[in-house]
């Protein structure tokens, strides 16, 4: 994705990396005389760099409270349980949950006019059609991920890893793992269907038929899979322990393995794949909405912060000009060749209600088979 | 018991200890690995993860926070659990089964559900998310464990003990403190250890009822998202060593106490 | 514990003696303990209040959610009451399998834990000198101060294809290629027994610890063999411990989540995972999750209630 991030405008930066560089620019030149107060943020570990937080606090007098979240489902449940008076101002939502948060009326529309640094986001992410729901923007993209095929380079060749079919090859029987739900979407795409199921919104019979086809295929492949997993830490450990040599995964956890020097690589196979975006959103009824806008604008102000986000998560930064702030291996771990990127499309959530109504029982049946 | 069965049981005991300790030994070892992931082979070693724990104020704070929550919630659970056990043991009355059933319920409700229910209930009564909300939910969740353990012990308390005390003119409160409570002490220590463990390891309730300060499990889960690192192993090892030292100290002082009691 | 330290305010005017001689205290106890009936009511009031206020609240909330058409509340759907989520369990066959699997699994697991832990507890309570018992017990307790998830990952690097066990086996030349231990029934049981052992150990230990050694000796003098002594004396006297240990382990194992998810294989889905799915994966299906939880809750309580009834019956027979 590095290529996609290339753009015309260039800013002046120091060349130093990491936390030291974060402490340089003044985020809020005109915001020095702020009223203080606080801003409450729900996010993942390391998503808000300490140095940035400290500087933001000292420049604005706004106290930043961070609540660490580890899972989108729990975050959704917590926010729902807090309605109608949430304690949170900004929360981090993953792409597949985006519409669910909006539909449940948990987010406030984002007034991008209040974010002077909105233009620092690569338009591929900030202006894409998935992000605009009900004619409004709801979040600021900060990171992007993709469903990839990851492989142990000492066992599997790159040519083999260019097709999703290898995941089901007899040769690698009992050495593969995947996330069932995600695998079903990807498999639909690989078989020439619409994995977002938007094409079948008016033809539920067809959608059900496709879902059954996928289900039966995965049931037939079940003897060959080592593990249906859920979390990034699991797939990393399975690769390290050599329990598997091939897996469907999100690029973030795999990128972290690559930067740590483990012999693993990933591709976006030739049949194509789906991508998703992490956004920072303002909660509906946020108690400190003004401070939240101030914070987001500061967060978007510099590519170093984008690079830091990318480094700590392994996902691809949505900020312009992050490349120069990443090391060689970090750049490699967060980029794909252009011909592979061409096969990547974003998850769309319009048909999710029908899709998951069909998929959830199918997943149960695969597990029970 | 014959000699052979005794030796057999001894072997089972030590095999079981081995089974418990080998994974922990691996955990300690991995804290020295110079990599972001645990696992073999270990190509280079480092002390940074262990040293880093002490410099990481977030970890130290979370540890203290979890310890306070564990101690206070255990105290509440022990008090309530023992009381309930005393009230329910050795009596049969209408509604006893209902009360016993209700008492055990919190232990069986899936964590997510009870956590969400507590969260909603806390809002209804106007309790702010934070330390006291966590303590409250932990105490409620742990009461059943105390009740079960204490009831098991209490049911074996010979009736003659209490009767003798009453014959000597002690009222029920004094009888409880001088006779029942000493008899229950081992069970209460056992129940207390359960509670501390459950509280110290609880993630779901702490997450839903906590505020912006993480308990240790919440912090560890957040860190786990970027992979199971030697750092998490180092943190856990240090917690383990600290509690082991604390346990050894408690064991020594308890032995001292019982010696003195024997000499009286 | 002997009767010598039972209270006697006449010969020992200690704290308790002075307390019972203290006017207001005496007056208070006079009122509180006037009759056994009143004494009983005083004793019961606080537990009843606590149980009904704190334990019942969350349950009612769950029951309420399980009957709603949609929850959490959303602006475009007004919730109404329905029983369909309970029906879903019985009409859609796919949920029955994990449910039955969970019940069978928990039962087998409880028995296995009992069989493993009984000798351990017995050894600890009967063969370890009294002043060493705490130390030996602590050796078993300390591992539990490490969080569940951290322990599970330690188990993974022990059992993985490139894990410690396989490395040792290969080094010793016992096997050419790594044996896949992980994501099998083996790794799952190894992980779960680690988790439940403690809850079996403590009640068993405290039951066995208080059986007087001279009972067994007396029986031996009467010519009873070791097996008879165990069956007629030790086992019956430890029934209470067995009952509460089994109840604890059973209740805990029906609700277990992280361990089966992380250590199990593709075909070992348990009911708690199904329930969690309604909350985590499909976040808007709380009512179904709550309804399923109610079903599991009732079943688990019924099973452990029935079990305790049987154990109580057995214990009653022994006493006669």
Distance from CA of C304 to the nearest CA of B (A): 10
CATH of A2-144+276-336, one of 3.40.50.720, 3.40.50.11540, 1.20.1070.10, 3.40.190.10: 3.40.190.10
Q: Judge contact between B209 and B122, C-beta under 8 A.
A: yes
Residues of A in contact with B129 (CB under 8 A): 87
Question: Could you tell me which of A183, A251, A176 has the C-alpha nearest to residue A211?
Answer: A183
The answer, yes or no, to whether residue C255 has pLDDT greater than 80, is no
pLDDT of residue C76: 63
CB contact under 8 A, B223 and A44: no
pLDDT of residue C302: 84
pLDDT of residue A91: 93
Q: CB B62: neighbour CB atoms within 10 A?
A: 21
How many beta-carbon pairs under 8 angstroms link A with B? Answer: 79
Distance CA A136, CA A319 (A): 21
For each of chain A's 369 residues, which pLDDT tens digit applies? 333 333 323 332 333 333 333 444 444 444 444 457 899 999 988 788 888 888 899 888 899 998 888 888 788 888 887 877 888 999 999 877 888 888 888 899 998 888 888 888 888 888 877 777 788 888 899 998 899 999 999 999 999 999 999 999 999 999 999 999 899 999 999 999 998 898 999 999 999 999 999 999 999 999 999 999 988 889 999 999 999 999 999 998 999 899 888 999 999 999 999 998 899 999 998 999 999 999 999 999 888 888 888 888 888 888 888 888 888 888 888 888 888 888 888 888 888 888 888 888 888 888 877
Q: Which of C6, C51, C59 sits opposite B161 (nearest CB)?
A: C6
B167-187: pLDDT as tens digits = 776 677 777 787 788 888 878
Residue of B nearest to A46 (CA): B223
Beta pairing partners, A277: A144
Interface probe for C, chosen from A71, A72, A73, A356 (most Cβ of C below 10 Å), is: A73
Is domain A146-274+343-368 classified as CATH 3.40.190.10? yes
Q: Which of A78, A232, A233 sits opposite B208 (nearest CB)?
A: A78
Distance from CA of C251 to the nearest CA of A (A): 23
* DSSP 8-state secondary structure symbol assigned to residue A245: S
B80-126: pLDDT as tens digits = 999 888 888 777 777 787 888 888 888 777 677 778 778 777 777 78
Distance CA C105, CA C99 (A): 10
Q: Which of A104, A222, A361 sits opposite C74 (nearest CB)?
A: A104
The answer, yes or no, to whether residue B139 has pLDDT greater than 80, is yes
Q: Which of C162, C262, C282 sits opposite A234 (nearest CB)?
A: C262
CB contact under 8 A, A361 and C94: yes
Segment (H or E) for A1: none
Q: Judge contact between C123 and C136, C-beta under 8 A.
A: no
Percent of chain C whose pLDDT exceeds 70:
89
pLDDT of residue B73: 95
Helical axes A72-82 vs B111-124, angle rounded to 10°: 30
Q: Does A66 touch chain B (CB under 8 A)?
A: yes
Token pair 């039955």 in the structure block, residue:
C100
Mean residue pLDDT of chain B comes to 83
Distance CA C165, CA A270 (A): 39
Q: Does B214 touch chain A (CB under 8 A)?
A: yes
Long-range contacts of C169-178 (CB under 8 A, 24+ apart): C178/A242
Residue of A nearest to B228 (CA): A233
Token pair 């019979």 in the structure block, residue:
A205
Distance CA A22, CA A28 (A): 14
Q: Which of A105, A226, A356 sits opposite C183 (nearest CB)?
A: A226
Name residues 74-103 of chain B within 8 A of A (Cβ). none
Is domain C84-319 classified as CATH 3.30.1490.20? no
Protein fold of B60-227: MetI-like fold (1.10.3720)
pLDDT of residue A293: 93
Segment (H or E) for B246: helix B230-263
**Better-predicted residue by pLDDT, B165 or A136:** A136
CB contact under 8 A, B226 and A313: yes
Residue of A nearest to C280 (CA): A73
Interface probe for C, chosen from B23, B177, B188 (most Cβ of C below 10 Å), is: B23
CB contact under 8 A, B123 and A82: yes
Q: Which of A73, A100, A368 sits opposite C98 (nearest CB)?
A: A368
Distance from CA of A80 to the nearest CA of C (A): 6
**Three-state DSSP state, C257:** coil
CB contact under 8 A, A256 and B221: no
Residue of B nearest to C199 (CA): B194
Neighbour-count burial of C87, counting CB atoms closer than 10 A to its CB (0-12 exposed, 13-18 middle, 19+ buried): exposed
Quick one: average pLDDT of B215-238? 87
Residues of B in contact with C158 (CB under 8 A): 22-23, 26
Residues of B in contact with C247 (CB under 8 A): 148
C149-164: pLDDT as tens digits = 888 899 999 999 888 8
Q: Which of B140, B153, B156 sits opposite C54 (nearest CB)?
A: B140
The region that residue A239 occupies, defined by phi over 0 for left and psi between -120 and 50 for alpha, beta otherwise, is alpha
Q: Does B212 touch chain A (CB under 8 A)?
A: yes
A302-316, C241-255, C267-281: which has the minimum mean pLDDT?
C267-281
| Structure tokens, C232 | 């007629």
CB contact under 8 A, C283 and A76: yes
Quick one: average pLDDT of C208-236? 75
Residue of A nearest to C179 (CA): A243
Quick one: average pLDDT of C208-218? 74
Q: Judge contact between A166 and A224, C-beta under 8 A.
A: no
Whether cis (ω within 30° of 0) applies to the bond prior to A84 is yes
Q: Does C233 touch chain A (CB under 8 A)?
A: no
Distance from CA of A132 to the nearest CA of C (A): 20
Distance CA A143, CA A312 (A): 11
Distance CA B219, CA A314 (A): 19
How many beta-carbon pairs under 8 angstroms link A with C? Answer: 89
Domain-wise residue ranges, chain C: 84-319
Question: Could you tell me which of A111, A182, A100 has the C-alpha nearest to residue A148?
Answer: A182
Domain-wise residue ranges, chain A: 2-144+276-336, 146-274+343-368
Count Cα neighbours of C86 within 13 Å in the Cβ-side half-sphere: 13
Residues of A in contact with C162 (CB under 8 A): 240-243
The answer, yes or no, to whether residue B242 has pLDDT greater than 70, is yes
The region that residue A315 occupies, defined by phi over 0 for left and psi between -120 and 50 for alpha, beta otherwise, is beta
Interface probe for A, chosen from B226, B228, B229, B233 (most Cβ of A below 10 Å), is: B226
ipTM score for this prediction = 0.81
* DSSP 8-state secondary structure symbol assigned to residue C126: I
Please state whether the predicted TM-score (pTM) of the whole model is above 0.95: no
Residues of A in contact with C267 (CB under 8 A): 222, 367, 369
Entry field: residues in chain B:
264
């Amino acid at each position: 994705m590095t290529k996609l991030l290339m753009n015309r405008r260039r800013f002046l930066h120091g060349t130093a990396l990491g936390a030291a560089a974060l402490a340089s620019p003044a985020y809020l030149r005109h915001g020095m005389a702020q009223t203080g107060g606080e801003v409450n943020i729900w996010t993942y570990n390391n998503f808000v760099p300490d140095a940035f937080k400290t500087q933001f606090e000292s420049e604005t007098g706004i106290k930043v409270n961070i609540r660490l979240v580890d899972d989108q489902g729990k975050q959704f449940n917590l926010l729902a349980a807090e309605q109608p008076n949430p304690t949170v101002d900004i929360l981090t939502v993953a792409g597949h949950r985006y519409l669910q948060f909006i539909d449940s009326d948990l987010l406030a529309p984002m007034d991008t006019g209040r974010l002077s640094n909105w233009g620092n986001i690569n338009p591929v992410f900030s202006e894409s059609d998935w992000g605009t729901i009900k004619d409004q923007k709801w979040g600021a993209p900060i990171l992007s991920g993709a469903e990839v095929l990851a492989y142990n380079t000492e066992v599997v060749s790159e040519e083999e890893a260019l097709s999703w079919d290898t995941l089901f090859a007899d040769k690698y029987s009992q050495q593969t793992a995947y996330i069932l739900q995600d695998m079903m979407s990807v498999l639909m795409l690989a078989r020439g269907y619409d994995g977002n199921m938007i094409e079948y919104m008016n033809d539920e019979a067809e959608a059900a038929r496709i879902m059954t086809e996928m289900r039966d295929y995965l049931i037939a492949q079940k003897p060959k899979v080592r593990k249906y997993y859920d979390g990034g830490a699991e797939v990393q450990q399975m690769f390290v322990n050599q329990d598997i040599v091939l897996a469907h995964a999100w690029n973030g956890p795999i990128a972290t393995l690559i930067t740590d020097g483990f012999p693993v690589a990933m591709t976006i196979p030739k049949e194509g794949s789906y991508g998703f975006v992490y956004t920072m959103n303002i909660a509906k009824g946020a108690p400190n909405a003004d401070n939240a806008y101030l914070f987001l604008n500061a967060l978007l102000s510099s590519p170093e912060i984008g690079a830091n986000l990318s480094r700590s998560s392994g996902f691809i930064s949505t900020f312009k000009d992050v490349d120069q702030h990443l090391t060689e291996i970090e750049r490699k771990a967060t980029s794909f060749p252009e011909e592979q990127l061409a096969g990547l499309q974003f998850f769309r959530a319009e048909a999710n209600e029908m899709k998951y109504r069909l998929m959830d029982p199918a997943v149960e049946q695969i597990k029970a088979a | 018991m014959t000699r052979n069965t005794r030796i057999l049981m001894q072997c089972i005991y030590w095999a079981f200890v081995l089974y418990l300790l080998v994974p922990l030994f691996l955990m300690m070892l991995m804290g020295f690995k110079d990599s972001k992931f645990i696992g073999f082979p270990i190509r280079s070693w480092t002390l940074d993860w262990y040293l880093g724990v002490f410099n990481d104020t977030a970890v130290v704070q979370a540890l203290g926070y979890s310890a306070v929550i564990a101690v206070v919630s255990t105290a509440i659970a022990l008090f309530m659990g023992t009381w309930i056990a005393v009230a329910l043991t050795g009596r049969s009355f209408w509604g006893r089964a209902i009360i016993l059933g209700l008492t055990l319920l919190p232990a069986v409700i899936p964590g997510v559900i009870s956590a969400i229910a507590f969260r909603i209930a806390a809002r209804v009564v106007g309790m702010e998310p934070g330390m006291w909300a966590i303590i409250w939910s932990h105490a409620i969740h742990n009461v059943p464990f105390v009740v079960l353990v204490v009831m098991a012990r209490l049911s074996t308390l010979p009736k003659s003990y209490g009767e003798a005390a009453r014959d000597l003119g002690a009222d029920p409160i004094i009888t409880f403190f001088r006779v029942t409570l000493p008899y229950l002490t081992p069970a209460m220590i056992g129940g207390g250890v359960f509670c501390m463990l459950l509280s110290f390891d609880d993630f779901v309730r702490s997450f839903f009822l906590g505020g912006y300060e993480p308990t240790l499990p919440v912090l560890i889960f957040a860190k786990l998202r970027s992979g199971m690192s030697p750092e998490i192993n180092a943190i856990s090892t240090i917690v383990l060593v600290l509690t082991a030292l604390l346990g050894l100290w408690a064991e020594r002082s308890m032995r001292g106490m019982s010696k003195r009691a024997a000499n009286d | 514990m002997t009767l010598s330290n039972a209270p006697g305010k006449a010969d020992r005017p200690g704290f308790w003696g002075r307390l019972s001689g203290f006017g207001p205290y005496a007056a208070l106890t006079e009122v509180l303990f006037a009759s056994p009936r009143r004494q009983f009511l005083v004793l019961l009031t606080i537990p009843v209040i606590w149980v009904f206020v704190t334990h019942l609240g969350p349950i009612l909330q769950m029951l309420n959610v399980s009957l709603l058409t949609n929850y959490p509340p959303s602006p475009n759907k007004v919730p109404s009451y329905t029983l369909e989520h309970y029906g879903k369990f019985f009409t859609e066959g796919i949920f029955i399998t994990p449910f039955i699997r969970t019940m069978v699994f928990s039962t087998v697991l409880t028995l296995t834990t009992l069989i493993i832990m009984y000798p351990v507890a017995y050894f600890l309570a009967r063969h370890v000198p009294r002043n060493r018992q705490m130390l030996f017990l602590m050796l078993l307790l300390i591992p539990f101060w490490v969080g569940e998830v951290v322990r599970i990952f330690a188990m993974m690097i022990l059992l993985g294809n490139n894990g410690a066990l396989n490395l040792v086996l290969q080094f010793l030349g016992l096997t050419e290629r790594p044996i896949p231990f992980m994501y099998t029934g083996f790794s799952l049981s190894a992980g779960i027994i680690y988790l439940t052992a403690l809850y079996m150990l403590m009640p068993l230990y405290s039951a066995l610890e208080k059986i007087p050694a001279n009972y067994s000796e007396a029986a031996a003098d009467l010519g009873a063999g070791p097996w008879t002594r165990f069956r007629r004396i030790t086992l019956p006297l430890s029934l209470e411990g067995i009952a509460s240990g089994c109840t604890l382990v059973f209740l805990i194992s029906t609700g277990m989540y992280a361990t089966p998810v992380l250590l199990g294989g593709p075909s070992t889905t348990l009911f708690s995972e199904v329930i969690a799915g309604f909350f985590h994966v499909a976040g808007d299906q709380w009512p179904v999750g709550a309804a399923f939880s109610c079903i599991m809750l009732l079943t688990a309580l019924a099973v452990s209630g029935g079990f305790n009834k049987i154990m109580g019956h057995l214990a009653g027979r022994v006493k006669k």
